């Protein structure tokens, strides 16, 4: 990002950034409007992203991944967000599901799933939210019972990202009768041909219209007992352990989007004439953009500090929660200011700023609503 020294960038990551940017500009940008109209990308985009080395960048080579780390994922995420290529959620696939498998999977599970996730043969989703509960995950009702060599899953999930294309789905289920967090486990469903498994129609969303989001239904779906991820009853703890990393990817994407919104707006206000002069010449425009640029740089510096902590294994959940709520709130505010400077054109979907406005709104809700983030921070403050 212009104007900010990024201590963690190096030549290898710059090369990855270049090739990711070229991939998204070539494979996604020209298709955006068509994908918006149909509410999903073509399935092949996953195989293309796999062939380009953009999937599972932080998965070790021995499991077919890129052998990199969070920095590689962050660079790919920044480019995907900057180019507005959110038609497939690599964050869910590589940034979340691959890490559950890496952290809790057996050697056999890792070998079975990760290499195919890296090529895009498998597309991953994570199914936690249900029609009756989202933030309060402990209250999920989807049940799995062990019958001999199989679990049987019964229930429904909603708002599932990559829901149309996913053929490997980590499902949060109740396996025990214990109330709350204790009875939750994670099961991995290989969805192709799974009897009793059904996808609902693509959901008609306010934004992120290129990304497939579905309800999923489980009507006594059989999953081999060996597809339990980690220990039974530890699902809630597993989900919580991975959250700081997931929230950082949301924050990384938010900052890249601030940059895109500002770049779009600078170009627009230089060009647009009002009252016989460029819009950029008006003091209000100058001050608004000065404020937004300052906020974007502050956000970048904060996120880079969090990334440095994460790389040292020192990023705590409270700081990740701060990064998630503040960058997504700030991003939405910046986009709103930028949209205002576009006048009526900012309301037209033809203009990127209008699409960013709609696309980013959800980042204040998913990955833990921003109010939940503030509650987490407040709890840490209470203990201080
Ligand atoms: C586009 C999209 C993609 C998604 N992708 C996935 C996915 O891939 N997998 C998945 O499992 N889920 C996914 N979700 C679901 C998402 O995680 C939930 O929407 C989110 O957790 C909020 O849950 P909810 O919608 O049930 O809202 P609720 O839990 O009903 O909360 C509603 C509102 O109440 C307030 N609130 C809630 N709890 C508190 C609290 N403790 N303190 C103060 N205020 C509070 C917040 O303002 C919150 O926005 C997705 C959602 C969307 C919209």
Ligand 1 geometric centre to CA of 366 (Å):
5
Atom of ligand 1 nearest to the CA of 375: 42
Q: How confident is the model at residue 353 (pLDDT cuts 50, 70, 90)?
A: very high
pTM (whole model) above 0.95: yes
CB 76 within 8 A of CB 23: no
pLDDT of 183 strictly over 80 = yes
* pLDDT tens string 278-309: 999 999 999 999 999 999 999 999 999 999 99
Q: Of the residues 164, 246, 365, which should be mutated to test ligand 1's pocket, given the most ligand atoms within 8 Å of the CB?
A: 365
- Spacing, Cα 44 to ligand 1 middle (Å): 30
**CA pair distance 240, 300, nearest whole angstrom:** 25
pLDDT for residue 1: 52
pLDDT digits (tens, 9 = 90+) for 8-23: 999 999 999 999 999 9
Q: What is the pLDDT of residues 317-326, one digit of tens each?
A: 999 999 999 9
369 CB near ligand 1 (under 6 Å): yes
Residue nearest (by alpha carbon) to ligand 1 atom 43: 371
Of ligand 1's listed atoms, the one at least distance from the Cα of 365 is 49
Ligand 1 and 372: CB distance under 6 A:
yes
Q: Whose CA is nearest to atom 37 of ligand 1?
A: 135
**Domains of the chain (ranges, CATH numbers):** 11-122 (1.10.540.10), 125-233 (2.40.110.10), 237-383 (1.20.140.10)
Distance 369 CA to ligand 1 centre (A): 6
pLDDT tops 60 at residue 207: yes
Q: What local confidence, expressed as pLDDT, does residue 360 receive? A: 98
Q: Is 159 in the pocket of ligand 1 (CB under 6 A)?
A: yes
> Measured in angstroms, how far is the CA atom of residue 367 from the centroid of ligand 1?
7
CB neighbour class for 247 (10 Å; exposed up to 12, middle 13-18, buried from 19): buried
Residues noted as catalytic: 246
Residue 3, pLDDT score: 62
**Residue 41 vs residues 46, 208, 242, 280: alpha-carbon distances, Å:** 9, 11, 27, 37
d(CA 154, CA 217): 8
**In degrees, to the nearest 5, what angle opens at C-alpha 141 toward C-alphas 140 and 144?**
110
pLDDT digits (tens, 9 = 90+) for 235-247: 999 999 998 999 9
The tokens of 194 are what? 């799974």
């Amino acid at each position: 990002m212009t104007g900010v020294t990024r201590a963690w960038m190096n030549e290898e990551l710059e090369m990855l950034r270049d090739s990711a940017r070229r991939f998204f500009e070539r494979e996604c940008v020209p298709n955006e409007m068509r994908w918006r109209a149909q509410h999903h990308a073509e399935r092949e985009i996953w195989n293309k992203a796999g062939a380009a080395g953009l999937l599972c960048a932080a998965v070790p080579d021995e499991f077919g991944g890129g052998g990199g780390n969070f920095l590689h994922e962050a660079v790919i995420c920044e480019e995907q967000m900057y180019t507005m290529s959110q038609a497939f959620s690599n964050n869910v696939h590589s940034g979340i599901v691959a890490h559950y498998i890496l952290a809790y999977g057996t050697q056999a599970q890792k070998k079975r799933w990760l290499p195919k996730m890296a090529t895009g043969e498998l597309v991953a989703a994570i199914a936690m939210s249900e029609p009756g509960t989202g933030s309060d995950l402990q209250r999920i009702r989807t049940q799995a019972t062990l019958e001999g060599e199989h679990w049987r899953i019964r229930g429904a999930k909603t708002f599932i990202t990559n829901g149309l294309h996913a053929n490997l789905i980590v499902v949060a289920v109740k396996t025990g009768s214990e109330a709350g967090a204790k009875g939750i486990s994670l099961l991995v469903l290989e969805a192709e041909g799974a009897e009793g498994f059904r996808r609902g129609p693509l959901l008609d969303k306010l934004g992120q219209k290129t990304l497939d989001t579905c309800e999923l239904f489980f009507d006594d779906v059989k999953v081999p007992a060996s597809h339990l991820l980690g220990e039974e009853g530890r699902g809630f703890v597993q989900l919580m352990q991975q959250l700081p990393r997931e929230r950082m990817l949301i924050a990384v994407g938010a900052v890249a989007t601030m940059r895109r919104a500002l770049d779009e707006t600078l170009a627009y206000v230089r060009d647009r004439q009002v009252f016989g002069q460029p819009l950029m010449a008006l003091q209000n425009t100058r001050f608004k953009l000065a404020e937004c640029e300052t906020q974007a740089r502050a956000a970048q510096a904060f996120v880079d500090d969090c990334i440095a902590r994460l790389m040292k294994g020192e990023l705590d959940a409270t700081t990740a929660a701060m990064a998630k709520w503040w960058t997504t709130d700030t991003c939405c505010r910046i986009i709103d200011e930028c949209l205002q400077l576009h006048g009526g054109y900012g309301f037209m979907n033809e203009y990127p700023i209008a699409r960013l406005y709609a696309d980013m709104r959800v980042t204040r809700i998913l990955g833990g609503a921003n109010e939940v983030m503030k509650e987490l921070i407040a709890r840490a403050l209470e203990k201080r």
